[in-house]
A = this chain, B = another copy of it.
Amino acid sequence: MAIIKNKSPVLFFYNNSKKWLMNISKKESLHTHIGVLKHADAIGKEYGSRLMTNKDKYVYLLEPTMYDYIMKIQHGTQIVYPKDLGYIAARAGIQDGQKILEIGTGSGSMTSFVASIVKPRGHVYTFDVDENFMKIAEKNIRKSGVSKYVTQHNLDLKTSKETPVTDMDVALIDLGDPWIVIPKVRQMLKGSGSIFAICPTMNQLEKLTMALVENEFTDIESTEHIIRTIEAREGKTRHSFQGIGHTTYLCFARKAFFGRTVKSTKAKATTKAKATTKAKATTKAKATTKAKATTKAKITKKSTKN
């Protein structure tokens, strides 16, 4: 039986739009539109208990889950929502022990979610270039209790020649121009490893899909996820009048090898040759077709053996 103590994290829950996540601090009070609660009154209670505010409203003392941490991060930043995070985990088959690459840490909500699944034997390597965001993310990741399973890198993988990690099981990309990093991501992924990119626009899906084909990915799938809330009440069950709008589209793919198999010693030389040939071919084609306009980013491939 889990009892709330001083410093315990608690979700003060009134309803889905009125809820407050904080650590108990015995001298403090929670001031809200629905009344005031003393933290001290929560101490000693079992999680799930309720308190009454001075305005006679019941507030539940819930034990925060990863969902609650993510939804709290939401305030003020663009997050990836649970409906989308859940599909990412289920479609990519994310599980304990995996190594995850994340490009675009943002506020750290996806980082925390994924870390909570791959822990304790897996790890999340997350990259960002915005130092302010990195600090916010660090704080959010710490609060959600998964810092130990996350390494934050301040590195621009769009331009960097380094390959700080390799053999990743899954790569998550949350950038405005995800197609730029695909060749790099390919080097960092294990064979058959998965990619998921967060794409708020259809144009991103389109450009990214072309880049994925060019970079030898298979099982490419673009989806969108609509969650609808149902108000289930005796004799009056119906969907909620309040609509839930678009958040993002998602693009999934798995790393494959399109080329012929070569002997491993010769491999590098041959690969190089092939890479150049293909690059040229693509370039040529692109010159005539529209592809150029949209992809532009000319990515020279030096090896395709990763």
Contacts and interface: CB of A to CB of B under 8 A. Distances in A.
Interface stretch (A30-38, A153-161, A221-229): A221-229
A134 interface: no
A199 to B, nearest CB: 9
A133 to B, nearest CB: 21
B234 A229 contact: no
Contacts of A231: 222
A49 B290 contact: no
A66 interface: yes
Interface stretch (A100-108, A124-132, A250-258, A274-282): A250-258
Contacts of A117: 89, 95-96, 117
Summarize A's interface: helix, strand, loop or mixed: mixed
A304 to B, nearest CB: 10
Contacts of A255: 48
A234 B239 CA distance: 19
A60 B256 contact: yes
A101 to B, nearest CB: 16
Interface residues on A, range: 35 or more
B121 A2 contact: no
Contacts of A167: 1
Contacts of A91: 67, 82, 86
Contacts of A291: 234, 290-291, 293
A222 B237 CA distance: 10
A222 B208 CA distance: 24
A2 B67 contact: no
A62 B190 CA distance: 11
A164 interface: no
Interface stretch (A21-29, A135-143, A241-249): A241-249
Given A192-B48, A257-B48, A238 B233 contact: no
Interface in A49-82: 49-50, 60-63, 65-68, 70, 82
Nearest to A116: B95
A230 B234 contact: no
A192 B12 CA distance: 12
B46 A235 contact: no
Contacts of A96: 96, 116-120
Interface string A200-240: 11110110111000000011011111111111111111111
Contacts of A225: 83, 225-228
B203 A237 contact: yes
5 contacts: A13-B219, A50-B218, A86-B86, A202-B232, A203-B206
Shortest beta-carbon contacts, A-B, top 5: A65-B93, A243-B243, A86-B86, A243-B245, A86-B90
Given A2-B192, A62-B219, A95-B117, 10 more contacts: A1-B190, A50-B218, A63-B192, A68-B93, A86-B91, A97-B120, A203-B237, A206-B234, A224-B227, A225-B228
